[in-house]
Structure 1
Amino acid sequence: MNPLQKVTLPEKFAAIPDFWNPRIVGEVGEQYVKLARIQGVFDWHQHAQEDELFFVVRGQLRMGLRDPHERFMLLEEGELLIVPHGTEHRPESLGEETWIMMIEPKTTLNTGNLKNERTREELERL
């Protein structure tokens, strides 16, 4: 990807056919900029070394957090949340579908310390 190429978010999201399968749309230093369409609830997980930024492009995101007490934060369109490394979290789409942008280190595995059928080790670039 040419680093001086603009990214049109609606076009990129339209190219994502599935849920919970992040796609890379850019790089900032050692960070990836990723997009994902999400629906329903993801799994509780944490990242030992990586902080994650979640930005809600469309819809609503409810982020479950255990730090150490369980709580939930609601994010609306245009809002973001930074989840520090070591914080157990669980994203959830409220409504039919949510579009999120994530900025996180290139080493970040989408399921963190958890390996299951949702784990994506090789991400597609859009």
Structure 2
Amino acid sequence: MNKINIAEKFTLFTEEWTPKVIAESNGQLVKIAKGSGELVWHKHDHEDELFIVFKGQLTLQLRTEDIVLNAGEMYVVTKGIEHCPKAEPDTHFMMIEPSSTAHTGETVSEITVSSEQQERI
């Protein structure tokens, strides 16, 4: 395994809300993504989802509150909690989650990326 320059990895793509796998450790995928606007409301019944913001601002809308994350901040959305990520323009963030985690849980939309479609960069 070679070291990974995360900032460099963010330069390799322009798509939004399309996670890119950059590493795997003990069945956990390390993914990066860019976002602007909202994704979709969804939940993961069996997996927690950790978000770390590198650039911009990511709001994790929950049914009970909004969690606002700025660069350098992180939050874990506990399994079973419905959430809708919302990002300021050109927000860059990382997710660490089990490889079994579906992009938008059971919710399927035109923006959903299947496990087979997730690109490794």
Scaled by the length of structure 2, what TM-score is found? 0.95
Corresponding position: 1:71 with 2:68: no
Aligned-residue sequence identity (percent) comes to 40
Aligned twin of 1:89: 83
| CA positional deviation for 1:35 | 0.3
**1:59 & 1:17 partners in 2: Cα distance?**
15
Equivalent position SS for 1:107:
coil
| CA positional deviation for 1:28 | 1.1
Correspondences of 1:32-111 after superposition (within 5 Å): 32-66=29-63, 70-94=64-88, 96-111=89-104
| CA positional deviation for 1:39 | 0.8
Structure 1 segments of 4+ aligned residues over 4 angstroms from their partners: none
Moved more, 52-61 or 111-120: 111-120
* Count of residue pairs brought into register by the alignment: 119
**2:70 & 2:96 partners in 1: Cα distance?**
17
Structure 1: 5+ residue runs without aligned partners?
Answer: none
Out of 7, 10, 14, the position equivalent to 1:10 is: 7
| CA positional deviation for 1:85 | 0.4
Superposition CA RMSD, Å: 0.8
**1:108 & 1:63 partners in 2: Cα distance?**
17
Scaled by the length of structure 1, what TM-score is found? 0.91
Structure 2: 5+ residue runs without aligned partners?
Answer: none
